[in-house]
Amino acid sequence: MASTLSSSFISPALIILLVYLSSSSNNLAAKHTYSASHHHRHHNRPPFQNPKLQQAYNALQAWKRVIYSDPYNFTSNWVGHEVCNYTGVFCAPPPNDKKIRVVAGIDLNGADIAGFLPDELGLLSDLALIHLNSNRFCGILPQTLANLSQLFELDLSNNRFVGPFPYVVLSLPSLQYLDIRYNEFEGPLPPQLFSKNLDAIFVNNNRFSNVIPSNFVGSSASVVVFANNKLGGCLPPSISNFANTLEELLLINTSLSGCLPPEVGYLYKLKVLDVSNNNLVGPIPYSLAGLAHLEQLNLAHNMMTGIIPMGVCILPNLANFTFSYNFFCEEEGICQNLTSNGIAFDDRRNCLPEKPNQRSQKECRGVLEHPVDCFHYHCGGVRGSSAAVPPAMIPAGTPLSSPAMAPGYV
């Protein structure tokens, strides 16, 4: 159940950069006209318009030397001093000096380039964005990226980067969009990540493990995607500290366990909540009935029990409600006929009487005879501790994962 919101995310940095580029293009055209009538002065010009462009040349040439596969020849014209004409390189005036041009953006999305990121990238101190989605860059991120104090967007998704979480990104003061999904990063996620002034955090489809940080102290993020990692543990109650900004929270297939905390219902701006394909137990918190902006709710492929509360079914903006492959035993009021309320739903493989495609009585009895009391259910801080699902609640043959994940941004 992927949201369409993130797929249509338009970066403010990209808009700003385009405005800069439009302005600088007019200036560049005027310079070309001037040059045409004064071509006899060309030999007096230095090879670079300013020292920053010379630094950019040094950085880009160092980068080209560690690129060992470029099937579409994106970097074939990375020669000569006119770095602003290189494919994928964009120049614009910096905020503090409108009279010069610097390398403000690098966009190599979809280039299928293989190579490394050299230390010399730290010379590109005026970069506002780096887009390297869908390449074959590998290795670890250089610590010199800490010099990119203007960097607003960093998209390294769908590459082959390795190592622990790249702590260098935490030192970037201007960063607001971080996308490192579909790589090979591993180990724990640092709690500091969620106290940064970030609008979007995509860490899904890596090898992150341990647990979700328990001490969220507040965040500006509107989108957080943890999906397809092995984090384990419970969703901490401190998730409520995202209340003022969070619109999309995706925890698909993260080995999440325990009960869904009522504090999720405090995320009053939430539009998408997906906790499918985990080991969640217990009932749906009644607090979810307060999520007036919620459009998509996916609880599928867990071991949740109890009733489907009417307060959730009458949410004014709810369009899709999936709670299949659980052990729910009752639907309140209009929840029995969500179609009449214009809501797409999936209620298969539960314990709902008189509904088709439900579990057998034997499967249901094995779980419903051992109800979970979430008020006394203590979530351990380490995987494999008391956060684990009680063995008595796992009937034989219970599917714990979906046969196919929905396409989209996870």
- Using 50, 70 and 90 to split pLDDT, how confident is the model at 46? low
Instruction: Tell me whether residue 118 is in a domain.
Output: yes
Average of per-residue pLDDT values in the chain: 85
> Residue 397 class from Cβ within 10 Å (0-12 exposed, 13-18 middle, 19+ buried)?
exposed
Which of helix, strand or coil describes residue 363? helix
Residues 247-306 have pLDDT tens digits of 999 999 999 999 999 999 999 999 999 999 999 999 999 999 999 999 999 999 999 999
**Which residue range(s) make up the domain with 67?**
52-393
- Using 50, 70 and 90 to split pLDDT, how confident is the model at 168? very high
Instruction: Tell me whether residue 6 is in a domain.
Output: no
Cβ neighbours, 10 Å, residue 34:
11
Instruction: Tell me whether residue 404 is in a domain.
Output: no
Instruction: Tell me whether residue 248 is in a domain.
Output: yes
Tally of domains in the chain: 1
- Using 50, 70 and 90 to split pLDDT, how confident is the model at 112? very high
Residues 251-261 have pLDDT tens digits of 999 999 999 99
Residues 191-211 have pLDDT tens digits of 999 989 999 999 999 999 988
- Using 50, 70 and 90 to split pLDDT, how confident is the model at 243? very high
Instruction: Tell me whether residue 63 is in a domain.
Output: yes
| In contact, 223 and 198? CB cutoff 8 Å | no
CATH code for the domain in which residue 142 is found? 3.80.10.10
Q: Can you give the pLDDT at residue 378?
A: 67
Instruction: Tell me whether residue 28 is in a domain.
Output: no
- Using 50, 70 and 90 to split pLDDT, how confident is the model at 45? low
Q: Can you give the pLDDT at residue 25?
A: 38
Instruction: Tell me whether residue 242 is in a domain.
Output: yes
Cβ neighbours, 10 Å, residue 337:
12
C-alpha angle with apex 74: 410 to 87, nearest 5 degrees? 100
Q: What is the reported pTM?
A: 0.83
Q: d(Cα 193, Cα 96) in Å, to the nearest integer?
A: 28
Instruction: Tell me whether residue 30 is in a domain.
Output: no
| In contact, 348 and 322? CB cutoff 8 Å | no
Does residue 219 have a pLDDT over 80?
Answer: no
